[in-house]
Amino acid sequence: MSTSGTTTFNLDLNNLVEEAFERCGSQLRSGYDLRTARRSLNLLTIEWANRGINLWTIEQGQVNMVTGQGLYPIPNDTIDLLDTVVRQNNGSASNQIDINISRISESTYSTIPNKLTTGRPIQVWINRQSAQSNPTTVVLTADINSTDTSITVDDASLLASGGFVKIGNETIGYANVIGNTLTNCYRGQNGTTAVAHSIGAAVSVQNLNSINVWPTPDAGGAPYTFIYWRMRRLQDAGNGATEQDIPFRLLPCMVAGLAFYMGQKIPEAQPRLQFLKQEYEEQWLMASTEDREKAPVRFVPRTMFYS
């Protein structure tokens, strides 16, 4: 007898949902059954993100820093940044240098006396937001061109004293508010293009994931590049023909988790609910034990803090 010679087994959404329904003692019968299962599956992947079981979603990214700019957006689907460095001479074949940048809390960042001090960034506060936009009644009270770094609105009290706003299709970062004027504005952020806007244009709030670096970059970095390794969100469940954004080894855990989630909504599955929960926790334990960093860890004290 010969083996199959293939290692491509996976489950698309339809088959995954069918397996979960069968474990609940039920069957997938209607479009609504698939829709409610897809909703539960998306909630399950969010639970996994909170539990930290998605090492396969770690990606490297970068932010090209600009002289005098301390606030930068990062991708909306970012859960958290795991490691960060400041790189000089990015892309150089022989003189590329990565220098550690320390992560600090919001409370530490808030106590920095002069946040506009320039130099090589050595600290970063990572501001994890909802990545959603909030409409406001705020409008421009004067025309602005594509290079203006001060923006006057009718009521800045409805905006945060620093962050991001969206005017038309352009995202704009700003560091300060003086009266009704947003100052130290960074134009064309988050992959958008700086353009002119007319008086009366609506201003909405963008709650973007972002980094705040200190000191703000000076001109000596030629330029500085913020390099990060992030953990991103799992992709949505999608339609019935798509496979899930997980490695094959986590399929048993995903099926068991979805069966438990669906068992809470299917009346005939109630007698099995305790078993479904136990099975899910067992599969979760095996998956989380496997999906972890297996390299040895070394701790090196930074002697600069000792006298």
pLDDT, tens digit, for every residue of 236-267? 998 878 899 999 999 999 999 999 999 999 99
- And the tokens for 270? 């109630």
Sign for the pseudo-dihedral over CA of 77, 82, 84, 90? negative
Kindly give, in sequence order, each residue whose CB lies less than 8 Å from that of residue 6, ignoring residues fewer than 6 positions away. Answer: none
pTM of the model: 0.86
Q: Stretch 279-292: mean pLDDT, rounded?
A: 90
Lowest mean pLDDT of 9-23, 52-66, 100-114, 274-288, name the range.
52-66
- Backbone torsion region of residue 243, taken as left when φ is above 0, otherwise alpha when ψ lies between -120 and 50, otherwise beta: beta
| Higher per-residue confidence, 57 vs 306 | 57
Q: What pLDDT, on a 0 to 100 scale, did the predictor assign at position 188? A: 96
Residue with tokens 């087994």: 9
What pLDDT is attached to residue 306? 52
**CA distances, 18 to each of 21, 22, 115, 257, 285 (Å):** 5, 6, 55, 13, 23
Token pair in block for residue 195: 């353009």
Q: Which residue has tokens 């305790």?
A: 274
Q: What is the pLDDT of residue 195?
A: 97
User: pLDDT grade, residue 153 (50/70/90)?
Assistant: very high
Instruction: Round to whole Å and give the CA distance between 273 and 259.
Output: 9
Look at residue 28 and tell me whether its pLDDT is greater than 60: yes
Average pLDDT score, the chain: 92
The confidence score (pLDDT) of residue 291 equals: 76
